[in-house]
Structure formats: structure tokens, C-alpha cells
Amino acid sequence: MRHTLAVLVENNPGVLARVAGLFSRRGFNIDSLAVGRTDNPTVSRMTIVVEGDARVLEQVNKQLHKLVDVIKISDITADEFVDRELVLIKVSVDPSLRGEVMQIADVFRARIVDLGKKTLTLECTGNNGKVDAFEESLQPYGIKELVRTGKIAMQRGSRYTGFTERSQKMNGNQED
């Protein structure tokens, strides 16, 4: 099963290598990984989508916790959450077919961000399913180039994965 982890890390050099190295070394499968800084410039947030059963996920969680730079991990899979991904797609389109492609863009609420003599570059955001569908519908026109950001996600409602000076890793009994 796919799990979505929100991981807060110290914004230190090499932190991405530490996390990525851990996954490859221990044979955990990363589906996607997106990283950027948070409102606190010393803290970055990674959204990691990882494939595995409950036992694998338990190890992923525990091994991530052991990294000194990892501050907090939330597996938000079971929660209600909003997830988004951004995709840029460049398709080669004969001017006569531009209208068709623009109609598809409309359906997906995608935007045209560049218009060339023979190409059209589109931007679309949404969850994985929408982005997949968008990609599929442009496939027949000939995709020249495609780039996806990987998924970012956030819990709905009042639950959050935030960093405060007092936040601890969620090792349960570490509080005392």
C-alpha cells in the first residue's frame, strides 16, 4: 500500500542525501519525494510517498526517526488530506490542432504557459489521478517533454504537522 509521509527536517546541508541514502540502503521504495522549506527557514518539509506493507512502513518510520536531522514524521495516509502535484507538459502540436488541445486544457483547468511555432507547454495541478489523466489525454498529440514535482500534501481541518521548539519525534513514550 502507498503511504504519504510528511517529514520535517532541519534545513542542514546533506539532509536530502541522508534521507535518500537511507531509503536506497535499506531497500525502501520511494514513489515520490518533494522537498522545500517551511515558514521557518531552518526547517524543511519533505513529502515522501512510499510503497510497502505495515511492517515496512514501521521500519521506514523508525529508521527515519534515527536520523538526527529528522524532527518529526507524520504518516497522514489515514487522515483526510489535500494532495497536489504540478506538471509541466510540452506537446508538439500542429497549429490546426491547437484548439483541440486547448479544449482538453480547459477540461483539466490547465493553463498554457508557452506557445511555440510547433509546441504548446501546459501547466496543470491536481492530485495524482488528475495529473495522470491529463498526461494520458495529451499522449496522442506527442509529448516532447514532461516534468512532475512529486506530490505535496497537507492534512485537512485542525490537524497539522508543524514544528514548534517543543515538538518531539512521535516515539510515543519519549516525552518523560
Partner 1 sequence: MKKSGAEILMESLKAQGVDTIFGYPGGAALPIYDALYDTDINHYLTRHEQGAAHAADGYARASGKPGVCLATSGPGATNLVTGIANAYMDSIPMVAFTGQVATSLLGKDSFQEADITGITLPVTKHNYMVKDVNDLSKIVKEAFHIATTGRPGPVLVDIPKDVSSTVAAYEDPGPVLLPGYSPAFKPDPKQVSRAARAIVEAERPVIYAGGGVVSSGAHEELKELAETLLMPVATTLMGLGGFPGDHPLSVGMLGMHGSKYANYAISDCDLLVAVGVRFDDRVTGKLESFAPNAQVIHIDIDQAEIGKNVRVDFPVAGDVRLCLREIMKQLEPKVESAWNGTINKWKKEYPLGYVDNGRIKPQQVIQEICTATKGQARIATEVGQHQMWAAQYYTFNRPRSFISSGGLGTMGFGFPAAIGVQVACPEETVFDIAGDGSFQMNIQELATVVNYKLPVKVAILNNGYLGMVRQWQELFYNRRYSYTEMSNPEFSKVAEAYGAVGIKITTPSEVRPAIEHALSVDEPVVMDFITDPEENVLPMVPPGEAINKMLG
Q: Which residues here bind partner 1, judged by CB under 8 A? A: 9-10, 13-14, 17-18, 21, 25, 55, 58-59, 62-63, 65-72, 163, 165, 167-169, 171-174, 176
Q: Smallest distance, Å, CB 170 to partner 1?
A: 11
Q: Smallest distance, Å, CB 14 to partner 1?
A: 7
CA 64 to chain CA centroid, nearest Å: 18
Task: Give the residue with the Cβ less far from partner 1, 108 or 163.
Answer: 163
Report which secondary-structure segment, H or E, holds 86: strand 81-92
Task: Give the residue with the Cβ less far from partner 1, 80 or 175.
Answer: 175
Q: Smallest distance, Å, CB 37 to partner 1?
A: 16
Phi and psi torsions of 97, nearest 5°: -100, 0
| H helix runs in the chain, sequence order | 15-25, 54-66, 98-107, 128-138
Task: Give the residue with the Cβ less far from partner 1, 72 or 151.
Answer: 72
53 Cβ neighbours under 8 A, 6+ residues apart: 1
Task: Give the residue with the Cβ less far from partner 1, 9 or 50.
Answer: 9
Q: Is 35 helix (H, G, I), strand (E, B) or coil?
A: strand
Q: Smallest distance, Å, CB 110 to partner 1?
A: 39
Q: Smallest distance, Å, CB 75 to partner 1?
A: 15
87 Cβ neighbours under 8 A, 6+ residues apart: 123, 124, 125, 131, 134, 135, 146, 147, 148, 149
Cell 508557452 found at: 114
Q: Are 92 and 141 in contact (CB under 8 A)?
A: yes
Task: Give the residue with the Cβ less far from partner 1, 12 or 139.
Answer: 12
